[in-house]
Amino acid sequence: MKILDLIFPQNVKCIFCSKEVDEYGICKECYEKLPFITGKTCIKCGGKSGDPNVCIECKNSRHEFEQVFSILEYSGDTKQKILAFKQNKRKNIGVAFSELVGEYFEKLNIPFDVILPVPIHENRLKERGYNQSEILLQRIENTYGRVYKNIFVRTKDTPHQTGLSKEHRENNLKNAFKVLDKSKIKNKTVLLFDDVYTTGSTFDECAKTLKKCGAFKVYGLCLCRSPIKISKILNND
Ligand SMILES: [Zn+2]
Ligand SMILES: [Zn+2]
């Protein structure tokens, strides 16, 4: 064994370009190319809105959550990696992104009491082997704690939501979640975490359930936000 192997025991490769890295699995060059959501963002969903306050999607919906923070746009290579992470059991992709989620979280200035991953149904868990949101929360869990994995569950096995309308999604998700230990969230400010925000239906249904069970406020954090349709932005006003 070489001495360097003792210092850097893992051969970590960048999840995008496969270059060897000694930090977490995204090299500097690829990190700089990530589609971070910056500029004018929606105060409700954190999406790139092209509007100073609320995006056109949020203007037309009544969200149950206070606010969602969105880190990256769900597009291009990032989207491909997230899909590989979820569909091809490429767990290392989630571990790399968990560092990015941790970095972002440290800058949030809201006093959360509890962090909850959006739960997946046990059938999906068997199929995938892990809850992607739990992996993405790994860094936060290690440095900050307060990530509760077993008090909030999904009792309804909903079909894949891809391509479904907002109304359809909402119907599928009705009463899909359950709080197992209400004492952990009672009067608490909860931060819910999900990998991808598409229409906000999942965050809404979760927030509704959590508030019904006594949560004081529910915020959301997601790694990726689906791009808000440009036509919708242009047609705004
Ligand atoms: Zn790279
Ligand atoms: Zn919005």
CA of 60 to the centre of ligand 2 (A): 9
CA separation for the pair 202, 208 (Å, rounded): 10
CA separation for the pair 174, 162 (Å, rounded): 17
Q: Which residue has the higher pLDDT, 133 or 231?
A: 133
CA of 11 to the centre of ligand 1 (A): 14
pLDDT at 188: 98
Of the candidates 73, 82, 91, 92, the one whose C-alpha atom is nearest the C-alpha of residue 34 is: 73
Residue range 169-205, pLDDT digits in tens: 888 889 999 999 999 999 999 999 999 999 999 999 9
Among all ligands shown, which has an atom nearest to the Cα of 15? 1
Could you tell me the pLDDT band of residue 230, with boundaries at 50, 70 and 90? low
* Other CB atoms within 10 Å distance of the CB of residue 125: 14
CA of 28 to the centre of ligand 2 (A): 30
CATH architecture group of domain 36-234: 3-Layer(aba) Sandwich (3.40)
CA separation for the pair 122, 150 (Å, rounded): 12
CA of 205 to the centre of ligand 1 (A): 37
SS3 call for 36: strand
CA of 141 to the centre of ligand 1 (A): 25
Among all ligands shown, which has an atom nearest to the Cα of 34? 1
pLDDT at 210 over 90: yes
CA of 54 to the centre of ligand 2 (A): 5
Among all ligands shown, which has an atom nearest to the Cα of 48? 2
Of 22-31, 131-140, 160-169, which gets the smallest average pLDDT? 160-169
Of 52-56, 70-74, 233-237, which gets the smallest average pLDDT? 233-237
pLDDT at 57 over 80: yes
Of 43-47, 77-81, 150-154, 161-165, which gets the smallest average pLDDT? 161-165
pLDDT at 109: 83
Distances (CA, A) of 90 to 41, 66, 121, 133: 31, 32, 19, 14
Question: Where in the chain are the domains?
Answer: 36-234
CA separation for the pair 116, 94 (Å, rounded): 17
Enumerate long-range contacts of 99-103, CB under 8 Å, 24 or more apart.
99/23, 99/24, 99/25, 99/26, 99/139, 100/26, 100/34, 100/71, 100/72, 100/223, 101/71, 101/136, 101/137, 101/139, 101/140, 101/193, 101/221, 101/223, 102/139, 102/140, 102/143, 103/139
Q: 3-state DSSP helix/strand/coil percent for the chain, to nearest 5?
A: 40, 15, 45
Instruction: Answer whether 0.85 is exceeded by the pTM.
Output: yes
CA of 91 to the centre of ligand 2 (A): 30
pLDDT at 231 over 60: no
Among all ligands shown, which has an atom nearest to the Cα of 20? 1
CA of 57 to the centre of ligand 1 (A): 34
pLDDT at 236 over 50: no
pLDDT at 122 over 90: yes
CA separation for the pair 213, 180 (Å, rounded): 10
